[in-house]
Amino acid sequence: MYRSSSTETTCFSFGQSLLNGISQLHPPTTRFPAHLDSSALGVALAWKASQLLLRMAAGPMRPAPIDVAPDLRVLLFTSLLTCFTALLFGMAPAIRATRLDLTSSLKEGRGATSTASRISLARALIVSQIALSLILLIAAGLFVRSLVNLTNVDTGFNKQNVLVFQVDQYAAGFQQDARLGSLLQQIEERVQSLPGVRSASFSMFTFNQGEWSEDVVLRGTPRTSENSHEVLLNMVGAGFFSTIGLPTIAGRTFSPGDNMTVPKVAVINETMARIFFPRTSAVGHRFGIGDEPAHGDDIEIIGVVRNAKYVKLQEEPQAAAYLVYTQHPQYLSNLEVRYDGDSRQVIFAVRHAIAEINGNIPVEGISTLAGEVEDSTLNQSLVAQLSAFFGLLAVFLVCIGIYGLMSYAIARRTNEIGVRMALGAGRSSILWLIMREILVLIATGIAIGVPLALAGNRLISRMLYGLSPEDPASLLAAIVLLIAIAGLAGYLPARKASLVEPTEALRYE
């Protein structure tokens, strides 16, 4: 007769225990290689799902500022992590099963103890999920509120109904001289006469297109660091302020008569007027730009306009001055057009008008001023929407965990529920008995998650605008949302348990 060796017996026992442990962790129809199948499916979905997610967050017309193409190193890391997780949670119960004493495991109380320990571990995992999802929800709330604050920032100008055309005069062979200024004026006048166009103007910059800054010194003061201040400069046309809707506070703005034959003039903003002329009117004073003698102190201030946002919405008020291109010939690629009516008809008419003046001048791109302002918040919008998506996804997983745990726990306690109901316990008391356990899990997870969230939110304080990392509204909203959704997930199995008939519960094995 063949007898197995001790080594063969040990290997067989371990293998059988491994299969038993896996079967306890998953339904009987699930095989161990399903982890690998799921990993392969996840990798396949990652190729397209990440791009789809970014497109949903950024929008179809705006390219996302990050590259989500699959990276070999990231793919290798996630694959190893997936395999490690599958082996860990698959082998842990199997190894534990090999240490069971056969005699004691057959005793009546052993199974209940094992089940209780598994439920305790599951509860600990659920609490951890709740804490983690709360952290993600609070961060998402902060990012969303920060984005709302950004979108409500007063830009200082009227961004609605303004088209921005990218016009390249350099490609047409024009030099930076008086003829270039005459060409730009001719285009402005021709476009402004079109039906549906209220005003038009060229400029060097519009919002979020860059900046040009120089040191400015008042006339009659020495050129020292104490007397000079850095000022943002922009070269614009006579109709620039009416085109973008920038109100005049004092003096006047540019006119067609401000050309090379008259003294140089400039329009400044409120901040520059407050810095250089805190106790008197700025109109009529003169200043110089930079250290080059060619600039001199010969630019007269003729007006003051309202402060505006120039580079980004988060910026503090900056000193700015506007020069007119008819006195400083420059290539100006931005043609702003304020319009009424259908934008498509205006775009066609403007293109046709420029082609009539000079067919060699290309129009390389068309956007809106409102779109440029919106594009400046693309990163914040992307972070807010993605964080909200993953926060809600985490809450969804918590709901699945709570529902599964409570369904399993209720199934194990069906006899107990039947006994309670047979002894006179009402359905409401059974419902509250189970809901109390669910609320304890939720409260424990919140008690752990709130301090961790408050500590971690300090790391993202620089990414927020207009609120602190300890914002109580975001904290309260996340807690209420988590309690409502997680409580609903636990209420469903609790209500089902309260509707069980006592006679059926007592017969349940």
Residues 31-64: tens digit of each pLDDT: 445 555 566 666 666 666 666 666 665 555 555 5
Total residue length of the chain: 509
Q: Which amino acid is at 322?
A: Y
Query: Which contiguous run of DSSP H or E holds residue 229?
Result: strand 229-236
What is the rounded distance in angstroms from the CA atom of residue 457 to the CA atom of residue 449?
A: 12
- Asked if 145 and 233 sit in the same domain, the reply is no
Q: Does a structural domain hold residue 106? A: no
- Asked if 191 and 246 sit in the same domain, the reply is yes
Angle at 8 between CA 7 and CA 12, to 5 degrees: 120
Give every CB contact of residue 488 below 8 A, 6+ residues apart in sequence. 399
- Asked if 288 and 380 sit in the same domain, the reply is no
Question: If DSSP codes are grouped into helix, strand and coil, which group holds residue 219?
Answer: coil
Q: Are the C-beta atoms of 410 and 490 separated by less than 8 Å? A: no
Mean pLDDT (the chain, rounded)? 80
Please choose, from the candidates 184, 144, 149, the residue with its C-alpha nearest in 3D space to the C-alpha of residue 167.
184
Q: Which amino acid is at 490?
A: G
What is the tens place of the pLDDT at every residue in 61-112? 555 556 666 677 877 887 788 778 777 767 766 666 666 555 555 554 444 4
Q: What are phi and psi of 389, to 5 degrees?
A: -60, -50
- Domain end marker among 328, 361, 394: 361
pLDDT at 109 (0 to 100): 47
pLDDT at 481 (0 to 100): 92
- Asked if 393 and 484 sit in the same domain, the reply is yes
pLDDT score of 308 more than 60: yes
- Asked if 178 and 147 sit in the same domain, the reply is no
- Asked if 199 and 122 sit in the same domain, the reply is no
- Asked if 124 and 190 sit in the same domain, the reply is no
pLDDT score of 253 more than 80: yes
What is the tens place of the pLDDT at every residue in 115-153? 556 677 778 888 998 999 999 999 999 999 999 999 999
pLDDT at 235 (0 to 100): 95
Q: Does a structural domain hold residue 90? A: no
Q: Place 226 in a pLDDT band, splitting at 50, 70 and 90.
A: low
pLDDT at 407 (0 to 100): 81
Q: Place 354 in a pLDDT band, splitting at 50, 70 and 90.
A: very high
**Domains in the chain, number:** 2
Query: Do the bridges between strand 265-269 and strand 320-324 make them parallel or antiparallel, or are there none, so unpaired?
Result: antiparallel
pLDDT at 459 (0 to 100): 86
**Chain centroid to CA 241:** 32
What is the tens place of the pLDDT at every residue in 292-305? 544 456 899 999 99
Q: What are phi and psi of 339, to 5 degrees?
A: -135, 165
- Asked if 214 and 258 sit in the same domain, the reply is yes
Q: Does a structural domain hold residue 470? A: yes
Q: Are the C-beta atoms of 254 and 240 separated by less than 8 Å? A: yes
What is the tens place of the pLDDT at every residue in 443-471? 999 999 999 999 888 888 888 998 888 89
204 vs 13, residue with greater confidence: 204
* Structural domain containing residue 466: 115-154+376-509
The pLDDT of 411-431, averaged and rounded, is 74
- Asked if 345 and 388 sit in the same domain, the reply is no
Q: Does a structural domain hold residue 254? A: yes
Q: Does a structural domain hold residue 247? A: yes
Query: Which contiguous run of DSSP H or E holds residue 109?
Result: helix 108-151
- Asked if 443 and 496 sit in the same domain, the reply is yes
Give me the helix-helix angle, 108-151 and 427-456, nearest 10°.
50
The pLDDT of 353-382, averaged and rounded, is 90
- Asked if 318 and 186 sit in the same domain, the reply is yes
What is the rounded distance in angstroms from the CA atom of residue 131 to the CA atom of residue 448?
A: 6
Q: Are the C-beta atoms of 249 and 181 separated by less than 8 Å? A: no
Environment class of 451 (CB within 10 Å of its CB; exposed 0-12, middle 13-18, buried 19+): exposed
91 vs 201, residue with greater confidence: 201
Q: Are the C-beta atoms of 270 and 236 separated by less than 8 Å? A: no
pLDDT score of 424 more than 90: no
Give me the helix-helix angle, 378-412 and 472-498, nearest 10°.
30
Q: What are phi and psi of 23, to 5 degrees?
A: -65, -30
Q: Does a structural domain hold residue 276? A: yes
- Asked if 185 and 314 sit in the same domain, the reply is yes
pLDDT at 504 (0 to 100): 64
Q: Does a structural domain hold residue 333? A: yes
Query: Do the bridges between strand 229-236 and strand 212-218 make them parallel or antiparallel, or are there none, so unpaired?
Result: antiparallel
> What does each C-alpha distance from 88 to 28, 94, 201 come to in angstroms?
19, 10, 67
What is the rounded distance in angstroms from the CA atom of residue 119 to the CA atom of residue 191?
A: 75
What is the rounded distance in angstroms from the CA atom of residue 374 to the CA atom of residue 207?
A: 10
Query: Which contiguous run of DSSP H or E holds residue 165?
Result: strand 162-167
Give me the helix-helix angle, 378-412 and 34-58, nearest 10°.
140
- Domain end marker among 361, 384, 399: 361
Please choose, from the candidates 488, 483, 311, the residue with its C-alpha nearest in 3D space to the C-alpha of residue 406.
488
Both structure tokens of 374: 């919106």
Q: Are the C-beta atoms of 233 and 321 separated by less than 8 Å? A: yes
Please choose, from the candidates 499, 504, 452, the residue with its C-alpha nearest in 3D space to the C-alpha of residue 478.
452
For residue 199, list its beta bridge partners.
338
